[in-house]
Amino acid sequence: MTPSEALLRFDHVTREFAASASPVRVLDDVSFSIARGEVVALLGRSGSGKSTLIHLAAGIDVPSRGHVRFDGADLATMPDAARTKLRRDAIGLVFQFFHLLPHLSVLENVLLPASIAGAPHAAAADTARGLLDRVGLLAREHAPAGVLSGGEQQRVALCRALVRSPRLVLADEPTGNLDDRTAAIVMDLLLELVRDRSAALLFVTHDRDLAARADRVLTLHSGRLEAPCSASS
Ligand SMILES: Nc1ncnc2c1ncn2[C@@H]1O[C@H](COP(=O)(O)OP(=O)(O)O)[C@@H](O)[C@H]1O
Ligand SMILES: [Mg+2]
């Protein structure tokens, strides 16, 4: 992959957090790229730095050293307005705990990113309903999100992450709070939705079988990336 083909690129990224004695290094000289449309799994034990890496990729956090680039632009030095727009429109986020607003309807939750972006309501509602149909929840569009099961709520969260047609979806243990059967359904849907839309996906998982469904697997050990290998090898 040449640098110009990379959608997301980490170059020698180190992240340290201040601590009483010396700074704690949570990510140490991490470099990798994700191409447009590529599906990449991020494996690693608890505390290895996975969520920190996801926050840096989303522009929610900035590196202590090194650079995170989206489509060639350095997230740390781009103007605030551009970074906000990128986070809102080009990147979709899915978390372990769905973070829906329980009193809003299913449809309103999916539409939130579009409403915040000021997108025309009718077109956004069409997109949102199409996504809800795709995950089997269109019949529940008017239900308060809080009455849905965990698996259903995560399916709503997938729709919310995709409603702006992002080029990159970042998912931090998207099935970590679900039973095995529900996890498989949610993971199938996430993979289908991103592949249908040619969006790239970086997803965190503890599960090697789930990771094997990615095009490529990255593994973190105590903040350092293991030499890359292909998912099938
Ligand atoms: N804001 C922070 N301040 C201090 N330490 C942090 C902060 N965020 C994460 N850490 C530490 O960094 C390490 C990696 O955390 P995290 O990225 O959440 O790991 P993972 O998602 O792989 O479990 C942990 O030891 C955690 O305590
Ligand atoms: Mg984590």
46-99 residue pLDDT tens: 999 999 999 999 999 999 999 999 999 999 999 989 998 898 899 999 998 889
| 228 in a structural domain | yes
Domain count, the chain: 1
Task: Give me ligand 1 centre to Cα 49, in Å.
Answer: 6
Give one DSSP letter per residue of 103-164, joined into a string.
TSBHHHHHHHHHHHTT--HHHHHHHHHHHHHHTT-GGGTTSBGGGS-HHHHHHHHHHHHHTT
pLDDT of 233 reads 41
Helix axes 121-134, 106-116, angle to 10 degrees: 130
Residues within a 6 A CB radius of ligand 1: 17, 24, 26, 44, 46-52
**Total-model pTM:** 0.93
Residue 18 lies in a domain: yes
> Does 4 map to a domain?
yes
Domain enclosing residue 52, as ranges: 1-90+209-233
Within-domain flag for 136: no
The C-alpha atoms of residue 105 and residue 196 are separated, in whole angstroms, by: 26
- At 30, which CATH number? 3.40.50.300
> Residues within 5 Å of ion ligand 2 by Cβ?
50-51
Report which ligand 1 atom has the smallest distance to the Cα of 46.
23
- Say if 120 falls within a structural domain: no
Rounded distance from Cα 224 to ligand 1 centre (Å)? 13
Nearest-CA neighbor of 41 among 214, 185, 230, 227?
A: 214
CA distance 203 to 50: 10
Nearest-10 Cα torsion for 103, 107, 108, 113: 130
Assigned domain for 185 exists = no
Identify the pLDDT of residue 57. 97
The verdict on residue 181 lying in a domain is no
Q: How confident is the model at residue 1 (pLDDT cuts 50, 70, 90)?
A: low
Residue 57: inside a domain: yes
